[in-house]
Chains A and B, each alone.
Chain A
Amino acid sequence: MARQLTYLKAVGEALEQEMRRDPRVLVFGEDNIGGTGCEGRLGNAWGPTQGLHEKFPDQVLDTPITEAAFVGAAVGAAATGLRPVTDLLFIDFAGVCFDQILNQAAKLRYMVGGKASVPLVLRAMWGTGLRRGAQHSQALHSVFTHIPGLKVVAPASAADAKGLMIAAIRDDDPVVFFEHKMLYFVPGEVPEEPYEIPLGQARVVRPGDDCTVVAVGRMVQYALTAAEELANSGLSCEVIDPRTLSPLDEDTILGSVERTGHLVVVDESNPRCGFAADIAALAADRVFGSLRGPVRTVTAPHAPPPFSPVLENAYTPSVEQIVSAVRSTRREPALASDSAAHR
């Protein structure tokens, strides 16, 4: 049987292989080593950097809680010859260092007329599921996708997490790398050797003919579950994981819509100016003539993520919503048997 690795370990393996390949790759953030300045032993990182300090003591650094300083330092280091991978922990914490992302990392290359580049990776956890409330559960990828100069990656599987991380590290532009917290412990088949998954290449996760379903991150699995159910009632969905939101593989998405004539976009981020609305607009603009039904979006509501499990479950897009969105664009009535259990 091919080797299985969790999503979290797959990210860690990418960091390890890239640090070994290239001494310019430097990994830092809060508790990326863990135990620094403590009486006990070093190496208490719980995330993907676990175990890396022991192997690369000069390439893994701990930071104080100084996001503006260390994310900015990553920008400065990237512009002067290193390839830093820095860790925000939760994407929500971008709030305390947004200037360094928005105005420094994203803008530097353009402002200096191309005479510098910023090859950095900004890692962050995202999404609902851990009952962490409004400041640790957001899906902010649409915000970063809106900013020219940044690339945005959101892997949905362990294999993609590794290949996209390697590509992100080797990329010469700043990449915001969204790691879904509910996928961390999901295993998948991951090749041992280093490999790159090119940024800007979507994956057709499940081929189908009746409706295109574009889904991001954790929602890819939800879309697959919905597709299974719909298959039972004779509807064949094509599930597409864009994998990188910027650059976006427009051709794969639009080509699929041209074939199926129907589009549902599933995304955890909020609806206004969000990723789902953007894909819907793209289809309306570019392949309107192929559409045989309204484009449907399934997103979180326009509210902050709540804490209570009951509320958080209701907030997160569900398989049931995806199923009814597909039926709705196909103008087919909902079935009583449709996945109420998944809610």
Chain B
Amino acid sequence: MTSPPSTKSSHEPSIAEVYRVLRTIREFEERVHEEFPKGEIPGAVHLYAGQEAVAAGVCAQLRPDDYIASTHRGHGHAIAKGCDITAMMLELYGKAGGLCGGKGGSMHIADFDRGMLGANGVAAGGVPLALGAALSAKVRGSGQVAVAFVGDGGVNQGAFAESLTLAAVWRLPVVFVVEDNGYAQATGTAFHLGGMDVAARATAQGIPARVVDGYDVFAVRAAAADAVRRARDGHGPALLECRAQRFFGHMEGWDQQAYRGAGEVDRIRAEHDCIQLFLDRVTAEQQLDAAQIAAIDASVRQDVERAVAAARSAPDPDVDSLLTDVYVNY
């Protein structure tokens, strides 16, 4: 295997662009939460609201041709990686013209043109895929990096543990981003992680790892910058353990979040809303003004509105497509 050339991230998004990503994810998720009970969105939908700073902060450090492998809670990653939200919404509705032609749905949404290798219906199922993309980048000497997003529940899978080993041994340009939202479905990390940091598992394998405040997009971005640069420069994998709780339940239409403490979600929304924290800082530092913020808000609202309208009125997939795309040739 040849070492990739050392390359810097060619495009660092502006503060306004980061804000647009944060706001788009929030608006998309809040809107899906509103639409879901109406019964037009089939299947299982897992919302990312509350955790936006992680996807936005990490993907801000990626090149358009870098790869990400996502989780069942993948909308935020897809949006942060540049997927078209109308095509995403069509996919959630299972419509023709959706990002995967209606064959993937929320849980398998993918866009290879943007390096988005897919949400994944299996906890930690996508982590080895990111290793493969990183291997591919390393062999081709392309300087690309792959990010493996995984939840706090997923890290207990063998595939995750094995992936730490293989990434370290093969010195792959991969960044593991553990999204600790406190719950594996309805089981708390105090139990299922035994109160241990996931970062310690990586450190024990010789992989540099950090625990990051996942509500702070600037902190995520800084940590991701180091990890991504390291990977891109051929120094191998790194791990970020980003802590940020979700606003909604594990899955729409299913859980009433009775497992969460009284007032927990209200408190997180009031005190740890990553978007509010972001806005407090950028307005205090005069990086964005009220008019710029309002303009982005309005434009995002319009985009999401358009996406929902398009998804609701789009035609269903042609039933003939049932049997296409199974094999390239058969």
Binding site for B on A (CB under 8 A): 24, 26, 58, 61, 63-64, 66-82, 84, 96-97, 99-100, 103-104, 107-117, 119, 148-149, 151, 171-173, 200, 247
- In the complex where A64-B169, A117-B328 touch, is A112 in contact with B132 (Cβ < 8 A)? no
Q: Does the CB pair B132–A80 fall under 8 Å? A: yes
Q: Does the CB pair B130–A76 fall under 8 Å? A: yes
Q: Which of B108, B130, B327, B328 contacts A112 (CB 8 A)?
A: B108
| A63 CA to B137 CA, complexed, in Å | 18
**Residues from 158 to 192 in B contacting A, C-beta threshold 8 Å:** 158-159, 162-163, 165-167, 169-170
| A243 CA to B206 CA, complexed, in Å | 46
A residues within 8 A CB of B131?
Answer: 69, 72-73, 76
1/0 contact trace for B295-330 toward A, CB 8 Å?
000000000000000000000000000001111111
Q: Does the CB pair A114–B324 fall under 8 Å? A: yes
1/0 contact trace for B84-124 toward A, CB 8 Å?
00000000000000111111100010111100011011100
Q: Does the CB pair A151–B110 fall under 8 Å? A: no
Q: Does the CB pair A149–B110 fall under 8 Å? A: no
Q: Does the CB pair A110–B325 fall under 8 Å? A: yes
Name the residue of chain A whose CB is nearest to the CB of B166: A69
- In the complex where A66-B166, A112-B118, A115-B113 touch, is A76 in contact with B136 (Cβ < 8 A)? yes
Name the residue of chain B whose CB is nearest to the CB of A247: B330
- In the complex where A61-B170, A79-B132 touch, is A113 in contact with B327 (Cβ < 8 A)? no
B67 within 8 A of A: yes
Q: Does the CB pair B128–A100 fall under 8 Å? A: yes
Q: Does the CB pair A64–B329 fall under 8 Å? A: no
Distance in Å: Cβ of B86 to nearest Cβ of chain A: 16
B41 within 8 A of A: no
Q: Does the CB pair B162–A69 fall under 8 Å? A: yes
Starting from the known contacts A68-B158, A72-B128, A104-B122, 4 additional A-B residue pairs (CB-CB under 8 Å) come to: A68-B159, A79-B112, A99-B159, A110-B103
| A115 CA to B108 CA, complexed, in Å | 13
Distance in Å: Cβ of A243 to nearest Cβ of chain B: 15
Q: Does the CB pair B170–A103 fall under 8 Å? A: no
Q: Does the CB pair B165–A72 fall under 8 Å? A: no
Q: Does the CB pair B103–A75 fall under 8 Å? A: no
Q: Which of A76, A97, A171 contacts B133 (CB 8 A)?
A: A76
Q: Does the CB pair A66–B129 fall under 8 Å? A: no
Distance in Å: Cβ of A175 to nearest Cβ of chain B: 11
Name the residue of chain B whose CB is nearest to the CB of A81: B136
| A64 CA to B162 CA, complexed, in Å | 9
B153 within 8 A of A: no
- Could you write out 6 A-B pairs with CB less than 8 Å apart? A66-B166, A70-B128, A99-B125, A112-B108, A115-B100, A115-B111
A residues within 8 A CB of B102?
Answer: 113
B286 within 8 A of A: no
Q: Does the CB pair B136–A58 fall under 8 Å? A: no
- In the complex where A66-B165, A75-B129 touch, is A82 in contact with B136 (Cβ < 8 A)? yes
The 4 residue pairs across chains A and B that have the minimum distance between CB atoms: A72-B128, A76-B132, A113-B101, A114-B325
Q: Does the CB pair B166–A151 fall under 8 Å? A: no
A residues within 8 A CB of B16?
Answer: none
Q: Does the CB pair B136–A100 fall under 8 Å? A: no
Q: Does the CB pair A113–B136 fall under 8 Å? A: no
| A137 CA to B108 CA, complexed, in Å | 35
B140 within 8 A of A: yes
Tell me how many residues of B have a C-beta within 8 Å of chain A.
Answer: 53
Q: Does the CB pair B100–A82 fall under 8 Å? A: no
Q: Does the CB pair A173–B329 fall under 8 Å? A: yes
B residues within 8 A CB of A58?
Answer: 1-2, 139
B residues within 8 A CB of A115?
Answer: 100, 110-113
Name the residue of chain A whose CB is nearest to the CB of B100: A113
Q: Does the CB pair B166–A108 fall under 8 Å? A: no
Name the residue of chain A whose CB is nearest to the CB of B103: A113
Q: Does the CB pair A69–B163 fall under 8 Å? A: yes
A residues within 8 A CB of B58?
Answer: none
Q: Does the CB pair A70–B166 fall under 8 Å? A: yes
B69 within 8 A of A: yes
A residues within 8 A CB of B330?
Answer: 151, 173, 200, 247
Q: Which of B108, B113, B133, B158 contacts A79 (CB 8 A)?
A: B133
B127 within 8 A of A: yes
Q: Does the CB pair A171–B158 fall under 8 Å? A: no
A residues within 8 A CB of B169?
Answer: 63-64
Name the residue of chain A whose CB is nearest to the CB of B69: A76
| A80 CA to B136 CA, complexed, in Å | 6
B275 within 8 A of A: no
Q: Does the CB pair A72–B104 fall under 8 Å? A: no
Distance in Å: Cβ of A197 to nearest Cβ of chain B: 15
B residues within 8 A CB of A110?
Answer: 103, 325-326
- In the complex where A114-B324, A247-B330 touch, is A108 in contact with B165 (Cβ < 8 A)? no
Q: Does the CB pair A68–B135 fall under 8 Å? A: no
Name the residue of chain A whose CB is nearest to the CB of B119: A111
Q: Which of A26, A75, A78, A149 contacts B327 (CB 8 A)?
A: A149
B residues within 8 A CB of A77?
Answer: 132-133, 135-136, 139
Q: Which of A24, A80, A112 contacts B103 (CB 8 A)?
A: A112
A residues within 8 A CB of B122?
Answer: 99, 103-104
- In the complex where A64-B169, A149-B326, A173-B327 touch, is A76 in contact with B110 (Cβ < 8 A)? no
Distance in Å: Cβ of B164 to nearest Cβ of chain A: 8
Q: Does the CB pair B132–A78 fall under 8 Å? A: yes
Q: Which of B118, B159, B162, B324 contacts A108 (CB 8 A)?
A: B118
Q: Does the CB pair B325–A100 fall under 8 Å? A: no
| A202 CA to B125 CA, complexed, in Å | 35
A residues within 8 A CB of B132?
Answer: 72-80, 82, 84
| A221 CA to B199 CA, complexed, in Å | 55
| A66 CA to B329 CA, complexed, in Å | 30
- In the complex where A75-B129, A104-B129, A112-B104 touch, is A69 in contact with B135 (Cβ < 8 A)? no
| A103 CA to B159 CA, complexed, in Å | 13
